[in-house]
Amino acid sequence: MPVCKTQALPINTPPVAQGCCWRAYGCAQWPLSLRCILLQPDCLIVIPNLQAALDLLCAAESDPRPADAVTSGWFRARRHFSDSDRGAILDLLYTLLRHRARLGWWLARLGKTDTPRNRLLAWLALGQGKTPDQIKRLFDGAKRAPAAITGPEYALLVELRGGTLTHADMPEEVRLECPPWAVAPLQRRFGPDFGVEMAATLVPPPLDLRVNPVKSTRDSVLRGLKAMGLRAEATKLAPHGIRLRERLSLVRLAGLKTGEIEIQDEGSQLVAHLLDTKPGDRVVDFCAGAGGKTLAIAAQMQNKGHVIACDINQARLKRCAERVRRAGLHNVETRVLSSETDQWVKRHKGGFDRVLVDAPCSGTGTWRRNPDARWRAPELGLPALVALQARILASAARLVKPGGRLVYATCSVLCEENEEQVAAFLAAHPSFHSVPLREAALHLPIEPKGDHLALTPARHETDGFFAVVLQRAALVVA
């Protein structure tokens, strides 16, 4: 594969994003997607409140919660921001999170501490091409502006002047923003496509919606969105999905309040469809969380049958119940479990047609949407997380009736959590077998590869997801 020698990245990497204006700096052969990710923009982010963006970055980095949870609470306490200001502040926050390793590398190279303020200064110099004096005028200590630039900070800006985000000495994993703990498993997973796949995780994702067929149709919602002047299109793979390729205030989407639409990545929608539920089925969503897939499953069943959303987190299930009511669904029950081996599982052994295990995982498939997640290694460590997934899968399998199906899914792209996890389960549970994807998902317009669904941002323009359909042997009647 030919490469551009200045940056050592594949020239013929497939494009995964469109619509940005960027300077190529002699790498014009690169596809637009990688130019967008790794080079400097002509379209500069305008921040009316630079200090607010810096404060939010500090809050996000000092809080163990995901960045989206931190920002939600942060803005609730500061309702004076307009929608446009809020959007600009969030844009800068997520831009800095997506460039954390590269900015940190530059600061370390120049002997500077990797602090949020230094990282912001480095981004303005390297990412937006501003001169030291231009940045000095932004940091003047006035209202809504950061404190004045110090002498050492100005010296840093002088050293960064004329530089670019990437550098010939920069290691590949730094250039691709891959955390140390994930380099080996991701290289093992993708092999020669490691660079392409990791670059795709740096592209900001579009906004995907799922239409609730109980309340509306995709055609009707599309007409409404286009009447608002939005660039909306039907998703290529998910039958109820809509994709918006522009940022907007969610307040404009009235359907979110009425239950006509939900925000859900196209890949997540496809996982729910793999259950292939029918009206009247009995279904368990074993790790339901806030209920995104639960809602899709219940609607797919046309509000008939019975769906039980389980989780160990009561607060998440409360949120799930609220969304169920808003969606106009009456076939969903929530149940809090004490653990994956709760006695409820034993009492309902063999009682369900379909069981979904959307297992807790490393989240490596969601990095383009949650760039902060890549810098939080699995709390338990990857081996312990894999062991937890195995216990959850084995316990949930008890709920499946003879002839019924179990869908195991993660939002991870790591073999340890996916193919290897399933292989270990099948070896220990001979009453189950995997169902070829071609047979399990006749309605999906995707070329099957083996028995599982494996989505990545580079190949499918979705978050990274893995899913496999496992069927329990039917009882043989003598």
pLDDT band at 444 (very low <50, low <70, confident <90, very high): confident
Question: Which pLDDT score is estimated for 472?
Answer: 97
pLDDT of residue 48: 58
Give per-residue pLDDT as tens, 156-190.
999 999 999 999 999 999 999 999 999 999 999 99
Asked whether the beta carbons of 470 and 407 are under 8 A apart, the reply is yes
Q: Which of 283, 277, 234, 305 is nearest to 441 (CA)?
A: 277
Note if 411 is an active site residue: yes
pLDDT tens for each residue of 383-402: 999 999 999 999 999 999 99
Cβ atoms of residues 200 and 457 within 8 Å: yes
What's domain 207-263's superfamily in CATH?
Sun protein; domain 3 (3.30.70.1170)
The residues spanned by each domain of the chain are: 40-165, 207-263, 266-472
Please name every residue paired with 455 in a beta bridge, in sequence order, or none if there are none. Answer: 465
Torsion of CA 266, 270, 272, 276, to 10 degrees: 150
| pLDDT tens, residue by residue, 301-355 | 999 999 999 999 999 999 999 999 999 999 999 999 999 999 999 999 999 999 9
5 or 81, higher pLDDT: 81
* Residue 150 neighbours by CB distance under 10 Å: 10
Residue 254 has a pLDDT of 93
Question: Of these residues, 4, 361, 411, 415, which one is catalytic?
Answer: 411
Structure tokens given for 246: 């522009």
CATH classification number, 266-472, choose in 3.40.50.300, 3.60.40.10, 3.40.50.150, 2.60.40.3140: 3.40.50.150
Percent of the chain, pLDDT > 70?
88
| Residue-wise pLDDT tens digits, 24-78 | 323 333 333 333 334 434 344 555 589 999 999 999 999 999 999 999 999 999 9
Q: What is the full DSSP assignment across 361-383?
A: ---GGGTTT-GGGGGS--TT-HH
Are the C-beta atoms of residues 20 and 43 closer than 8 Å to each other?
Answer: yes
- pLDDT score recorded for residue 439: 86
Please give the Cα distance from 392 to 387 (Å, whole number).
Answer: 9
- What is the model's pLDDT at position 281? 97
Question: 62 Cβ partners below 8 Å, 6+ apart?
Answer: none
